[in-house]
Structure 1
Amino acid sequence: MGKLVEDGPKPLPEFGFTDAAGAEHGVAAFAGQGLLINCWATWCGPCVEEMPALDRAQAVLAGEGIRVLALSSDRGGKAAVEPFFRDKGIGRLGLWLDPKGAAQRALGVRGLPTTVVVDRQGRERARLEGAAAWDQPAMLAEIRRLVGPAAAPADQSKT
């Protein structure tokens, strides 16, 4: 299992991907959130191996404003990914698609899986090439450290 390699912070390029309904999204839509952008495919053995751990990590991190964006590069799109998620019991990750590889090109991905950690300011902080145990306490702590604390809610009592 791999280890996060810090290389930043550096600005994240803008790129697009689609949801299960085919609607276009960009990373700017997730401003203020921490992101774990995972580039993967159903035909990639190590990707398949780490997907349940990413799903469990999403369950833990969701309440902290950290989102896992698992971008599938499967050319079959939703038709390939939806049954895979169902068969593997993946229920917390959104169905995000990058069938033309736009996200992979923008991020300079060299192989699958590759995961990029993005802080709340929209900067790449680290990446990992290969599979990882994303739901392990040490990895979750590292993600939290790299992403940074959530913004404190505005204090409404002061006027």
Structure 2
Amino acid sequence: MVQKKKRLVIRSIILAILVAAIAYTVYVTATKDPNKVIKAGDSAPNFVLTDLDGKKHQLSDYKGQGVLLNFWGTWCPPCKEEMPALNNAYAKYKDQNVQVISINIAQSNFEVQNFVDEYKLNFPMTIDRSKSVMRAYNVDQLPATFLINKEGKITEIITHGITETQFEQYMESIKPQ
């Protein structure tokens, strides 16, 4: 009889915990502030990230210039394929008021620096350690590239690998006249 009471008490406690967990999940889901979906024509969310050299990059500092934001990871095959093309396009456009800010998604400095060295990349390489910029831009697949015009508006969002010719066309499209 005592054993049955103990089991009943334990089962009741477990059931109460499960009900509380479900209620909490429903409450959080119902009251959470949904992320605004970013689309072409929207103002680009501002952010500050630090590159591998310790330099801070704040998007608003580039107002008046075109900016290509490229989200990537060292483990992403299309990201690896497009990096040399992006590097070449950067070399061509960096003195034409078109900036490249590459945003790695939460990997270590060591991993990113090895990648940069292996591919001999020359553009600013930042790391979004908390994934806050990734969330602000609603990035859910890599690579993801955002073209931002001189007014700070997103003109296009590309969610696939890009060739060198395409990078040049995109950079030309956001180059201030």
- Range of TM-score over shorter length: 0.7 to 0.9
- 1:111 offset after TM fit, Å? 0.5
Instruction: Give the match's secondary structure for 1:11.
Output: coil
Amino acid of the structure 2 residue aligned with 1:89: K
Identity in percent: 27
- 1:39 offset after TM fit, Å? 0.3
CA contact (8 A) 1:33 1:66 kept: yes
- Alignment partner, residue 40 of structure 1: 72
Higher relative contact order (CA 8 A, sep 6+): 1
**Structure 2, gaps ≥5 residues long:** 1-38
Structure 1 residue ranges (4+ consecutive) displaced by more than 6 angstroms after TM superposition:
none
Which of 56, 59, 80 aligns to 2:111? It is 80
Instruction: Give the match's secondary structure for 1:10.
Output: coil
Deviates more, 1:118-127 or 1:9-18: 9-18
After superposition, the CA RMSD in angstroms is 1.7
Deviations 1:24-49 (A, max 9, x none): 43211222110110000111111111
Q: 1:105 to 1:45 in 2, by over 3 A?
A: same
Structure with the largest fraction of helix: 2
- For residues 12-91 of structure 1, the aligned pairs below 5 Å read 12-22=44-54, 24-76=56-108, 78-90=109-121
Residues in 1 aligned to 2:55 and 2:167: alpha-carbon distance in whole angstroms? 32
- For residues 140-159 of structure 1, the aligned pairs below 5 Å read 140-145=168-173, 147-150=174-177
Q: 1:23 to 1:68 in 2, by over 3 A?
A: closer
Query: Could you tell me the TM-score, scaled by structure 1's length?
Result: 0.79
- Alignment partner, residue 136 of structure 2: 106
Which structure has the larger Rg over C-alpha atoms?
2
**Structure 1, gaps ≥5 residues long:** 1-6, 151-159
CA contact (8 A) 1:16 1:102 kept: no
Q: 1:61 to 1:110 in 2, by over 3 A?
A: same
Amino acid of the structure 2 residue aligned with 1:110: D
- 1:148 offset after TM fit, Å? 4.5
CA contact (8 A) 1:34 1:119 kept: yes
Deviations 1:60-109 (A, max 9, x none): 11121101111111421x2111111111122x212211122111111111
Amino acid of the structure 1 residue aligned with 2:113: E
